Structure 1
């Protein structure tokens, strides 16, 4: 039987949405093992002087719960 857990993590980047998601994975993997998937719940940008300043993502990270 497989048991999965989901946590919500916000991420950001000045480069792209893809980079923001990769930042979420990089940071989550420091304390979470066995990441299976990342669901992008929401995407937004901040604007400064009519240009995108920051990409933001609201994600749900799904990972397997490991048994002893």
Structure 2
């Protein structure tokens, strides 16, 4: 039986929500092993001069505890 744990990570990108999610995973992967999935819990963006300036995601990362 596998034991799984979930952490919540906030990340951003000036390119896209997809890139923000990748940034969250890349950063979490530096200290968390056995990552199984990433769930995008929430998306938001900041606006500057009528254009999206920064994409933000709140993701839940699931990993196996060994």
TM-score of Structure 1 vs Structure 2, range by shorter chain: over 0.9
User: Deviations 1:20-66 (Å, cap 9, x if unpaired)?
Assistant: 00000000000000110011110000000000000000011000012
Aligned Cα root-mean-square deviation (Å) = 0.4
1:26-45 equivalences in 2 (<5 Å): 26-45=26-45
Bigger proportion of residues as strand: 2
> 1:17 — aligned with what?
17
- Mark the runs of 5 or more structure 2 residues left unpaired by the alignment: none
Q: TM-score, normalised by structure 2?
A: 0.98
Superposition TM-score, scaled by structure 1 size: 0.95
Uncovered stretches (5+) of structure 1, i.e. residues with no partner: none
Matched, 1:50 2:50: yes
Question: How many pairs were matched up?
Answer: 66
Runs (4+) of structure 1 exceeding 4 A deviation are none
